[in-house]
Protein backbone atom coordinates (compact mmCIF):
# COMPACT_ATOMS: atom_id res chain seq x y z
CA UNK A 1 0.00 0.00 0.00
CA UNK A 2 1.20 3.51 -0.79
CA UNK A 3 -0.71 5.55 1.77
CA UNK A 4 -2.64 5.07 5.00
CA UNK A 5 -5.20 7.66 6.08
CA UNK A 6 -5.75 7.91 9.82
CA UNK A 7 -8.90 9.63 11.09
CA UNK A 8 -8.84 10.88 14.67
CA UNK A 9 -10.52 13.40 16.87
CA UNK A 10 -8.58 16.63 17.48
CA UNK A 11 -6.81 16.66 20.80
CA UNK A 12 -3.34 16.90 22.30
CA UNK A 13 -0.17 16.22 20.34
CA UNK A 14 0.77 13.37 22.72
CA UNK A 15 -2.43 11.50 21.86
CA UNK A 16 -1.73 11.97 18.13
CA UNK A 17 1.81 10.60 18.46
CA UNK A 18 0.47 7.61 20.41
CA UNK A 19 -2.05 6.91 17.63
CA UNK A 20 0.69 7.07 15.00
CA UNK A 21 2.89 4.62 16.90
CA UNK A 22 0.00 2.24 17.42
CA UNK A 23 -0.87 2.41 13.71
CA UNK A 24 2.73 1.62 12.73
CA UNK A 25 2.78 -1.43 15.01
CA UNK A 26 -0.45 -2.68 13.47
CA UNK A 27 0.86 -2.26 9.94
CA UNK A 28 4.21 -3.98 10.51
CA UNK A 29 2.90 -7.59 10.14
CA UNK A 30 1.29 -6.76 6.83
CA UNK A 31 3.32 -7.77 3.79
CA UNK A 32 4.16 -5.20 1.15
CA UNK A 33 3.17 -6.48 -2.28
CA UNK A 34 4.31 -4.42 -5.23
CA UNK A 35 1.75 -4.17 -8.03
CA UNK A 36 2.41 -6.60 -10.90
CA UNK A 37 3.81 -5.27 -14.13
CA UNK A 38 1.25 -4.50 -16.83
CA UNK A 39 1.13 -7.09 -19.57
CA UNK A 40 -0.99 -6.33 -22.63
CA UNK A 41 -3.30 -9.12 -23.70
CA UNK A 42 -2.32 -8.61 -27.36
CA UNK A 43 1.22 -9.36 -28.58
CA UNK A 44 3.77 -6.61 -28.73
CA UNK A 45 4.52 -4.86 -31.97
CA UNK A 46 0.97 -5.30 -33.25
CA UNK A 47 -0.21 -1.73 -32.74
CA UNK A 48 -0.92 -1.39 -36.45
CA UNK A 49 -3.07 -4.54 -36.56
CA UNK A 50 -5.31 -4.90 -33.55
CA UNK A 51 -6.96 -8.30 -33.08
CA UNK A 52 -10.43 -6.69 -32.84
CA UNK A 53 -11.11 -4.40 -35.77
CA UNK A 54 -14.27 -3.89 -37.86
CA UNK A 55 -14.12 -5.29 -41.35
CA UNK A 56 -15.75 -2.21 -42.90
CA UNK A 57 -15.47 1.50 -42.08
CA UNK A 58 -18.45 3.04 -40.23
CA UNK A 59 -21.23 4.59 -42.35
CA UNK A 60 -21.62 8.33 -42.57
CA UNK A 61 -24.79 10.10 -41.52
CA UNK A 62 -25.87 12.54 -44.18
CA UNK A 63 -27.10 16.03 -43.24
CA UNK A 64 -30.50 15.58 -44.91
CA UNK A 65 -32.85 13.37 -42.97
CA UNK A 66 -30.13 11.47 -41.14
CA UNK A 67 -29.81 8.90 -43.92
CA UNK A 68 -26.96 6.44 -43.81
CA UNK A 69 -24.60 6.68 -46.74
CA UNK A 70 -21.84 4.37 -47.74
CA UNK A 71 -18.27 5.45 -47.09
CA UNK A 72 -16.51 6.31 -50.35
CA UNK A 73 -13.94 3.71 -51.40
CA UNK A 74 -10.33 4.24 -50.51
CA UNK A 75 -7.48 4.86 -52.90
CA UNK A 76 -6.84 1.14 -53.27
CA UNK A 77 -10.42 0.41 -54.39
CA UNK A 78 -10.48 2.92 -57.22
CA UNK A 79 -9.61 1.95 -60.74
CA UNK A 80 -6.29 3.40 -61.79
CA UNK A 81 -6.56 5.44 -64.95
CA UNK A 82 -3.99 5.68 -67.65
CA UNK A 83 -1.17 8.18 -67.07
CA UNK A 84 -1.76 11.64 -68.39
CA UNK A 85 -5.51 11.43 -68.19
CA UNK A 86 -7.07 14.25 -66.17
CA UNK A 87 -10.30 13.53 -64.35
CA UNK A 88 -12.88 16.34 -64.13
CA UNK A 89 -13.27 17.79 -60.66
CA UNK A 90 -16.51 17.02 -58.87
CA UNK A 91 -18.77 19.99 -58.15
CA UNK A 92 -18.33 21.46 -54.72
CA UNK A 93 -14.92 19.86 -54.14
CA UNK A 94 -12.72 22.68 -55.34
CA UNK A 95 -10.68 24.93 -53.06
CA UNK A 96 -12.57 27.47 -51.04
CA UNK A 97 -15.92 25.66 -51.20
CA UNK A 98 -17.69 24.67 -48.01
CA UNK A 99 -20.73 22.51 -47.64
CA UNK A 100 -23.47 24.11 -45.58
CA UNK A 101 -25.24 21.74 -43.22
CA UNK A 102 -28.93 22.64 -42.88
CA UNK A 103 -30.18 23.09 -39.33
CA UNK A 104 -33.27 20.98 -38.63
CA UNK A 105 -35.49 22.19 -35.82
CA UNK A 106 -38.09 19.88 -34.36
CA UNK A 107 -40.63 20.27 -31.61
CA UNK A 108 -41.89 17.15 -29.85
CA UNK A 109 -45.24 16.47 -28.27
CA UNK A 110 -45.30 13.09 -26.54
CA UNK A 111 -48.29 11.77 -24.61
CA UNK A 112 -48.55 8.74 -22.39
CA UNK A 113 -51.22 6.11 -22.67
CA UNK A 114 -53.91 7.21 -20.23
CA UNK A 115 -57.60 7.89 -20.04
CA UNK A 116 -60.37 5.93 -21.76
CA UNK A 117 -59.15 3.70 -24.56
CA UNK A 118 -60.82 3.70 -27.94
CA UNK A 119 -62.81 0.69 -29.03
CA UNK A 120 -60.24 -2.06 -29.50
CA UNK A 121 -60.26 -3.60 -32.94
CA UNK A 122 -57.42 -6.03 -33.42
CA UNK A 123 -58.37 -7.02 -36.96
CA UNK A 124 -57.10 -5.10 -39.98
CA UNK A 125 -58.94 -4.37 -43.19
CA UNK A 126 -58.33 -6.64 -46.14
CA UNK A 127 -56.42 -3.98 -48.04
CA UNK A 128 -54.10 -3.14 -45.15
CA UNK A 129 -53.66 -6.82 -44.25
CA UNK A 130 -52.55 -7.50 -47.83
CA UNK A 131 -50.01 -4.66 -47.67
CA UNK A 132 -48.70 -5.87 -44.31
CA UNK A 133 -48.20 -9.36 -45.73
CA UNK A 134 -46.65 -8.02 -48.93
CA UNK A 135 -44.04 -5.87 -47.16
CA UNK A 136 -43.63 -8.34 -44.27
CA UNK A 137 -44.35 -5.71 -41.64
CA UNK A 138 -44.55 -6.50 -37.94
CA UNK A 139 -47.77 -5.50 -36.23
CA UNK A 140 -45.79 -3.67 -33.53
CA UNK A 141 -43.67 -1.82 -36.10
CA UNK A 142 -43.96 1.96 -35.95
CA UNK A 143 -45.69 3.84 -38.76
CA UNK A 144 -46.69 7.47 -39.12
CA UNK A 145 -49.66 9.35 -40.44
CA UNK A 146 -48.61 12.48 -42.35
CA UNK A 147 -50.88 15.53 -42.10
CA UNK A 148 -50.06 18.33 -44.57
CA UNK A 149 -51.45 21.77 -45.32
CA UNK A 150 -53.71 20.18 -47.93
CA UNK A 151 -55.60 18.50 -45.09
CA UNK A 152 -56.12 21.62 -42.98
CA UNK A 153 -55.86 25.39 -43.19
CA UNK A 154 -53.70 26.02 -40.10
CA UNK A 155 -51.11 23.45 -38.99
CA UNK A 156 -50.42 25.20 -35.68
CA UNK A 157 -54.08 25.12 -34.69
CA UNK A 158 -54.40 21.47 -35.73
CA UNK A 159 -51.22 20.67 -33.81
CA UNK A 160 -52.70 22.07 -30.60
CA UNK A 161 -56.01 20.26 -31.14
CA UNK A 162 -54.09 17.08 -31.98
CA UNK A 163 -52.22 17.19 -28.66
CA UNK A 164 -55.45 17.57 -26.69
CA UNK A 165 -57.11 14.90 -28.82
CA UNK A 166 -54.35 12.38 -28.16
CA UNK A 167 -54.34 13.05 -24.41
CA UNK A 168 -58.13 12.96 -24.09
CA UNK A 169 -58.79 9.87 -26.20
CA UNK A 170 -55.74 7.90 -25.03
CA UNK A 171 -54.72 6.66 -28.48
CA UNK A 172 -52.82 3.37 -28.05
CA UNK A 173 -49.02 3.63 -28.36
CA UNK A 174 -49.42 6.99 -30.08
CA UNK A 175 -47.15 10.04 -30.05
CA UNK A 176 -46.73 12.89 -32.51
CA UNK A 177 -44.72 15.98 -33.36
CA UNK A 178 -44.85 18.80 -35.88
CA UNK A 179 -42.24 19.28 -38.59
CA UNK A 180 -42.38 23.02 -39.18
CA UNK A 181 -39.62 23.05 -41.80
CA UNK A 182 -41.62 20.52 -43.83
CA UNK A 183 -45.05 21.98 -42.96
CA UNK A 184 -46.21 18.54 -41.83
CA UNK A 185 -47.51 16.83 -38.68
CA UNK A 186 -46.32 13.28 -38.04
CA UNK A 187 -48.47 11.04 -35.82
CA UNK A 188 -46.67 7.80 -34.90
CA UNK A 189 -48.46 4.59 -33.95
CA UNK A 190 -48.17 0.82 -34.28
CA UNK A 191 -49.21 -0.84 -37.52
CA UNK A 192 -51.77 -2.79 -35.49
CA UNK A 193 -53.62 0.41 -34.50
CA UNK A 194 -52.92 2.59 -37.55
CA UNK A 195 -56.44 2.39 -39.01
CA UNK A 196 -57.99 3.11 -35.62
CA UNK A 197 -55.72 6.13 -35.11
CA UNK A 198 -56.25 7.39 -38.66
CA UNK A 199 -60.05 7.30 -38.43
CA UNK A 200 -59.96 9.05 -35.07
CA UNK A 201 -57.68 11.80 -36.40
CA UNK A 202 -59.87 12.44 -39.44
CA UNK A 203 -63.07 12.56 -37.36
CA UNK A 204 -61.78 14.61 -34.43
CA UNK A 205 -59.58 17.05 -36.38
CA UNK A 206 -61.98 17.26 -39.36
CA UNK A 207 -59.22 16.76 -41.89
CA UNK A 208 -59.95 17.28 -45.56
CA UNK A 209 -58.68 15.04 -48.34
CA UNK A 210 -56.63 11.91 -47.70
CA UNK A 211 -53.92 11.37 -45.12
CA UNK A 212 -51.07 9.00 -45.91
CA UNK A 213 -49.47 6.27 -43.81
CA UNK A 214 -45.69 6.01 -44.20
CA UNK A 215 -43.28 3.32 -43.04
CA UNK A 216 -39.51 3.60 -42.68
CA UNK A 217 -37.66 2.71 -45.90
CA UNK A 218 -40.94 2.08 -47.74
CA UNK A 219 -42.58 5.50 -47.85
CA UNK A 220 -46.34 5.88 -48.27
CA UNK A 221 -48.05 2.50 -48.32
CA UNK A 222 -51.61 3.34 -47.31
CA UNK A 223 -54.01 6.28 -47.42
CA UNK A 224 -57.31 7.13 -45.81
Per-domain boundaries in the chain: 107-112+125-223
pLDDT value for 118: 40
Task: State which residues of the chain have pLDDT below 70.
Answer: 1-2, 12-13, 41-55, 59-123, 169-170, 172
pLDDT tens-digit readout, 40-66: 766 666 555 555 666 677 766 656 545
pLDDT value for 20: 85
Instruction: Decide if domain 107-112+125-223 falls under CATH 3.30.70.
Output: yes
pLDDT value for 220: 92
DSSP type of residue 88 = P
Report pTM: 0.45
Burial label, 147 (beta-carbon count in 10 A; 0-12, 13-18, 19+): buried
In Å, the largest CA–CA distance within the chain is 93
Core vs surface per residue 101-140: b (16+ CB within 10 A) or e = eeeeeeeebebeeeeeebeeeeebeeebeebbeeeebeee
Amino acid sequence: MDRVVLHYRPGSALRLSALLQQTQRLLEPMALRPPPAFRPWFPRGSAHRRPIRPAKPPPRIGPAGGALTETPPGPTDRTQDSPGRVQPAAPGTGPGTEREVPVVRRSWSVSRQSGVQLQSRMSLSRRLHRLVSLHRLHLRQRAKWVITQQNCSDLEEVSGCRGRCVRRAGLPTCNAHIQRERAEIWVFCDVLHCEQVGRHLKDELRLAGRIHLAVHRLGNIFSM
